[in-house]
Amino acid sequence: MGKNIKRKHSPEFKTKVCLESIKERLTISEISKKYNLHPTQIKTWKKDFLECAPELFKTDKKREENKDQESLIKTLYAEIGEQKVSLDFLKKNFTLANKNEN
């Protein structure tokens, strides 16, 4: 009995397959044979693709809000990193000072 090997497909490949299934020039069965995929996998990718498509057409205001949130998150992570470096430095100096006192 052979082992099933899980294949990983790139987002570009998935998009290509989804668009081909949306165009409906070939049946799902034909597409599955063409790309050596299970028809259920193609249907799942197509469903996910169509569910996410409306996100592309959100208003600019919502996009701006998302960019602002991403910017804030990056700033906060940078600040956390700086504080960690400072804390590590202080811990190191504190332990060195205690060793020198003994």
If residue 46 lies in a helix (H) or strand (E), which one and from where to where? helix 39-52
State the Cα–Cα distance between residues 75 and 16, nearest whole angstrom. Answer: 36
The DSSP symbol for 54 reads G
More confident residue, 3 or 15: 15
Rounded Cα distance between 9 and 48, Å, is 15
One domain for residues 72 and 50:
no
User: What's the mean pLDDT in 33-43?
Assistant: 95
Q: What pLDDT does 6 receive?
A: 81
Which tokens belong to 97? 């000072």
Give 24's DSSP letter: T
Q: What is the mean pLDDT of residues 11-25?
A: 95
The structure's pTM equals 0.54
Q: Tell me how far apart the alpha carbons of residues 10 and 14 are, in angstroms, rounded to a whole number.
A: 6
Query: Does 81 lie in the same domain as 49?
Result: no
Provide mean pLDDT across the span 69-92: 93
Higher-pLDDT residue of 77 and 66 is: 77
74 and 44, same domain (yes or no):
no
Residues 67 and 48 in one domain: no
Which of the pair, 92 or 31, is modelled with greater confidence? 31
> For residue 17, what pLDDT is reported?
96
On whether both 76 and 52 belong to a single domain, the answer is no
Note whether residue 46 is domain-resident. Answer: yes
| Residue-range definition of the domain harbouring residue 96 | 58-102
Task: Average the pLDDT over 55-69 and give the result.
Answer: 78
